[in-house]
Amino acid sequence: MAKNNFRGMPGGMNQAAMMKQAQKMQQEMLRMQEEMENKTWSATAGGGMVTASVNGKHEVLDLKINPEAVDPDDVEMLQDMIIAAVNEAMRTADAEAAQNMSRLTGGMNLGGLF
C-alpha cells in the first residue's frame, strides 16, 4: 500500500507547509480586499464636465456635474456622460484589484479558490 505523505509534491512542499502558505495567502487577500473596499477612484467624461467617484464595493460615492453640461434640450448627452464616468471609474477600480490579486498570487489563476 502506498503512503500518502505528500513528500513527492513539487519543490518538496509537504501538506502542512502548503496549508500554512494557503492560509497566509488567504489572510493577505482578505486584507487587500478590505483595503480596496475603502479606496476611492474617480473618472471624468465629457472633457471634465462629469466626474464620478466610486469605491471598491462598486458604490458611487460622489457625482459632480459642471452646470455647463446641463442642457434641457439634450438630457441624453448628460446621461451618457454620467454613465461613461461611472463605468470608467469602475473599470479603473477593477483593473487595480486584478493587478493587486495577480501580484499576490504570482500570476496564478485561482478561479475563486479564495
Q: What is the mean pLDDT of the chain?
A: 85
pLDDT band at 10 (very low <50, low <70, confident <90, very high): low
Mean pLDDT of 24-44: 89
Mean pLDDT of 74-96: 96
Looking up cell 477593477, which residue turns up?
94
* Nine-digit cell string for 99: 493587478
| Residue 12, pLDDT score | 58
Measured CA to CA, the distance from residue 77 to residue 8 in angstroms comes to: 63
| Residue 112, pLDDT score | 53
Measured CA to CA, the distance from residue 63 to residue 44 in angstroms comes to: 10
* Nine-digit cell string for 102: 495577480
Q: Is the pTM of this model over 0.75?
A: no
| Residue 50, pLDDT score | 97
| Residue 8, pLDDT score | 53
pLDDT band at 101 (very low <50, low <70, confident <90, very high): confident
Mean pLDDT of 38-45: 95
